[in-house]
Amino acid sequence: MPDKKMRTILFLLQKEFLQIMRNKSIRVMIFVMPVIQLIIMPLAADYEVKNINLSIVDHDHSTYSAQLISKITASSYFKFAAYNQSFREAFILVEKDKADIILEIPVNFEKDLIKENKAKVFIAANAINGIKANLGSAYLASIIRDYNMELRSKLIAVTRYNPVPVIEVPSSNWFNPLMNYYYFMVPGILAILVTMVGGFLSALNIVKEKEVGTIEQINVTPIKKYHFVIGKLIPFWILGNIIFTIGLLVAWLIYGIVPVGSLLLLYVCISMYLLAILGFGLLISTFCETQQQAMLVMFFFMMIFILMGGLYTSIDSMPNWAKIIAKFNPAAYLIELIRMVVLKGSGFKDVLPHIIKLGIFAVVLNSWAVLNYKKTN
Amino acid sequence: MYSVEVKDISKVYGKEKLVAVDHVSFSVNKGDIFGLIGPDGAGKTSIFRVLTTLLLPDGGGATVEGFDIVKDYEQIRSRVGYMPGRFSLYQDLTVEENLHFFATLFGTTIRENYDLIKDIYVQLEKFKDRRTGKLSGGMKQKLALCCALIHKPTVLFLDEPTTGVDPVSRKEFWEMLKRLKAQGITIIVSTPYMDEADLCDRIALMQAGKILSVETPAHIINNYGDLLVEVKADNMYELLKVLKEYKKALNSYAFGEYAHVSFEKEIPGDFLPFLQQRGLSGIFMAPANVTIEDCFIKLLKS
């Protein structure tokens, strides 16, 4: 009998593949979507903040203030927007969205600096674009600190005072030394891609059979429930792997990203993950009656998976309750796994805890889907 | 020996407690063509779904080929062929692929049971590489029948197989059913068409979840009891209106080009004068052949 069972499953697979390959929109989705998304999204989703428009209000007009200004404008982060006479004038520019940050240098800046050894400057940032405001004022502050340092060591050198101990904190970015955002984004987007394609295809599939009515004809056959679900699972599992492979090729050809870790391990991760996300899709499929319902429900979860998966915002910086939600987000594990293996070169032992968790997701979701798929009601 | 025995089955849907099947009982002889006749919403499909183990009844029980529909559902599934009312084969697969697929699900092959479907399949063979979605209605119907037969079932459930099919294809379809009956297959068929009732061995007349009567078509017709006449006049619309006013008639309704009027025993002497008096001309009257439809209408009235 096992021979007969195998034959049944093989036929279910054959049928599923015939249907998938005959569906033009699915074909396009499988081959075009990964390529387009991987080319467009990482280029657009660039966190590096450049071209911050800076407006300067210099009330001092001294040598020091001029030096400071030239030092700031020399950096590639800032674009000199205007040189204003008053803060109000500069503020109008902010209102018109022509300036992002205002630097105001007060009168007696130079004098105070030399005589009293300290001077104040005022930085005002437009916080509507939070990232730009934050990073921009941080860049600006660090340039000013730098300048301050320079100045002090110069003054100290002249007076031959006791040298002031200077603590410098150099930083270096591990696993992505140049802080190349593509390295960071591409593996994450790859994970999202697999999630979207796998989740949606599987969620819509059983529902489609319900909608068209073919499930009636299947249900009167002696076929077992788990055969049917396996017959749905495997084709999409294979498709998911194909999409992932295409994505890896795009990452290599366009961004030159070659996984540091083992390719085999990467496929172990993706295989396990696919079982989990497909199980989730099939589960939704068993709950819904129409493709529209399934689509909306899947979309709701997709948003949570993506936005709370650590792709755009780090899970570590989320509040505690959000971290707990992220623990139940399979996509969060995959995003981390792919980054670990592709960027850091993590080995099997490092990724094992995550793989086990994904395995639990897979078992629970698929069993639930099998139980919930009723042949009788 | 009965092939299907239904005892006191009920099915209630949803929170509104919509009664679809109301304490229905009947039995089907082995090798019969059994017809469930009734209008839309009579509960025919619900009974089919209960008997094909797709739906659990809320009360009562049934056996198919001696197997209980709840306990032995697996046994039933491999012995029963079901053709749902809605076309439910894969439209994006070809004719041959569909047939092949369903044969495999039942653990058999097309070749093994080819002689059973041969008569039907030869008409489809020239389209075997065509996608099912692109077939005509009659062809779809034939393919659905092939798919329901491919595992050599002993009982065949056909839910409104001829709805939306042209008269020629309908006739052909019934010819096919007769040939299947000759091979010993029990066929349970539902239809809203009264004229198909004559083609069944026994029929159950259904209305609003209840069975009104289970008999052979001839028996039902012979037991009609009333006197039925057909009447025609130049102005049919006026005639039907006037007939409603004639209180001595049990019932009157349009029937094809005639109006059927039923009386208890004999035509009252004042019937014709009454019609003439009301200004109707060209009156023609003759005894009518009782049909299942007349019996059904009578049952509904009582």
- CATH number of the domain enclosing A107: 3.40.1710.10
B-facing residues of A in 291-310 (CB < 8 A) are none
Q: Do B55 and A376 touch (CB under 8 A)?
A: yes
Q: Please count the other Cβ atoms lying within 10 Å of the Cβ belonging to residue A193.
A: 22
Q: Where are the beta strands (DSSP E) in B122-218?
A: 155-159, 186-191, 202-207, 210-215
User: Is A283 found in the same domain as A314?
Assistant: yes
Residue A301 lies in a domain: yes
Chain A residue at shortest CA distance from B70: A376
Give the C-alpha separation, B7 to B301, whole Å.
26
Q: Do B54 and A214 touch (CB under 8 A)?
A: no
Give the C-alpha separation, B5 to B134, whole Å.
39
Residues of chain B with CATH 3.30.70.2070: 225-301
Residue A377 lies in a domain: no
Residue A315 lies in a domain: yes
Per-residue pLDDT, B18: 84
- Strands across the sheet containing B67-68: B18-29, B2-13, B59-64, B67-68
Parallel/antiparallel/unpaired status of strands B186-191 and B155-159: parallel
Residues of B with CB under 8 A from a CB of A: 52-56, 73-74, 77-78, 80, 82, 84, 86-93, 97, 100-102, 104-107, 147
> CATH 3.30.70.2070: does it fit domain B225-301?
yes
Among B56, B82, B93, beta carbon nearest to A220: B82
Contacts of A4 in chain B (CB under 8 A): 107
User: Is A283 found in the same domain as A224?
Assistant: yes
Which of the following CATH numbers is that of domain B2-221: 3.40.718.10, 3.40.50.300, 3.40.50.150, 3.90.1150.10? 3.40.50.300
Contacts of A6 in chain B (CB under 8 A): none
User: Is A212 found in the same domain as A149?
Assistant: no
Q: Is B186 helix (H, G, I), strand (E, B) or coil?
A: strand
Q: Each residue's pLDDT tens digit in chain A (377 positions)?
A: 557 778 888 888 888 888 888 888 888 887 888 888 888 887 776 666 677 888 888 888 888 888 888 888 887 778 888 888 888 888 888 888 888 888 888 888 888 877 777 778 888 888 887 777 777 888 888 888 888 878 777 766 655 555 555 555 666 667 666 666 777 788 888 888 899 889 998 999 889 988 888 888 888 888 888 888 888 899 999 999 999 999 999 989 988 888 888 999 999 999 999 999 999 999 999 999 999 999 999 999 999 998 888 887 788 888 889 888 889 999 999 999 998 898 888 888 999 999 999 999 999 999 999 888 876 55
Mean pLDDT of B214-231: 88
**Do the Cβ atoms of A261 and A344 come closer than 8 Å?**
yes
* H or E segment to which residue B27 belongs: strand B18-29
Give the C-alpha separation, B244 to B261, whole Å.
10
User: Is A220 found in the same domain as A103?
Assistant: no
Reported as a single tens digit per residue, the pLDDT across B160-199 is: 888 878 888 888 889 889 999 998 999 999 988 888 888 9
DSSP letter at B259 equals E
Per-residue pLDDT, B63: 92
User: Is A59 found in the same domain as A22?
Assistant: no
Closest CA to A82 of A122, A121, A54: A54
User: Is A220 found in the same domain as A346?
Assistant: yes
Give the C-alpha separation, A123 to A102, whole Å.
6
Per-residue pLDDT, A166: 53
Mean pLDDT of B110-121: 87
Residue A169 lies in a domain: no
Give the C-alpha separation, A211 to A203, whole Å.
13
Q: Do A376 and B87 touch (CB under 8 A)?
A: no
Per-residue pLDDT, A329: 92
> Does the pLDDT at position B1 exceed 90?
no
Residue A337 lies in a domain: yes
User: Is A146 found in the same domain as A115?
Assistant: yes
Residue A119 lies in a domain: yes
Indicate if the alpha-carbon torsion angle A172, A174, A177, A180 is positive or negative. Answer: negative
Closest CA to A238 of A6, A12, A15, A13: A13
Per-residue pLDDT, B195: 84
Give the C-alpha separation, B202 to B181, whole Å.
13
Give the residue from A104, A124, A159 where a domain finishes.
Answer: A159
Give the residue from A127, A159, A191 where a domain finishes.
Answer: A159
Give the C-alpha separation, A146 to A151, whole Å.
9
**Do the Cβ atoms of A157 and A168 come closer than 8 Å?**
no
How many Å lie between the alpha carbon of B74 and the closest alpha carbon of chain A? Answer: 6
Q: Do B84 and A377 touch (CB under 8 A)?
A: no
**Do the Cβ atoms of A280 and A196 come closer than 8 Å?**
no
Q: Do A221 and B106 touch (CB under 8 A)?
A: yes
**Do the Cβ atoms of A210 and B88 come closer than 8 Å?**
no
Give me the domain span that covers residue A217.
2-45+179-372
Per-residue pLDDT, B275: 86
Give the C-alpha separation, A150 to A143, whole Å.
11
Banded pLDDT at B41 (limits 50, 70, 90): confident
**Do the Cβ atoms of A341 and A269 come closer than 8 Å?**
yes
Give the C-alpha separation, B222 to A341, whole Å.
84
User: Is A200 found in the same domain as A137?
Assistant: no
Contacts of B84 in chain A (CB under 8 A): 213, 216-217
Question: In this predicted complex, what is the ipTM?
Answer: 0.75
Residue B163's Cβ-count burial label (10 Å; 0-12, 13-18, 19+) is middle
Residue A265 lies in a domain: yes
Chain A residue at shortest CA distance from B74: A222
Per-residue pLDDT, A128: 81
Burial B265-278 (b: 16+ CB within 10 A, else e): eeeeeebeebbeee
* H or E segment to which residue A173 belongs: none
Residue A165 lies in a domain: no
Contacts of A23 in chain B (CB under 8 A): 92
- Tokens 């001092």 sit on residue: A60
Angle, vertex CA A18, rays to CA A20 and CA A299, nearest 5: 15
Angle, vertex CA A185, rays to CA A180 and CA A186, nearest 5: 100
Reported as a single tens digit per residue, the pLDDT across B16-38 is: 888 888 899 999 999 999 999 88
User: Is A91 found in the same domain as A21?
Assistant: no
Q: Is B211 helix (H, G, I), strand (E, B) or coil?
A: strand
Residues of chain B with CATH 3.40.50.300: 2-221
Give the residue from A159, A194, A212 where a domain finishes.
Answer: A159
Parallel/antiparallel/unpaired status of strands B67-68 and B202-207: unpaired
Question: What is the number of domains present in chain A?
Answer: 2
Closest CA to B298 of B241, B260, B244: B260
* H or E segment to which residue A291 belongs: helix A291-307
Angle, vertex CA A65, rays to CA A60 and CA A66, nearest 5: 115
Q: Do B105 and A22 touch (CB under 8 A)?
A: no
Per-residue pLDDT, A376: 58
What DSSP string runs through A126-169?
Answer: -TTSHHHHHHHHHHHHHHHHHHHHHHHHHHHHHHT-PPPP----
**Do the Cβ atoms of B207 and B42 come closer than 8 Å?**
yes
User: Is A263 found in the same domain as A363?
Assistant: yes
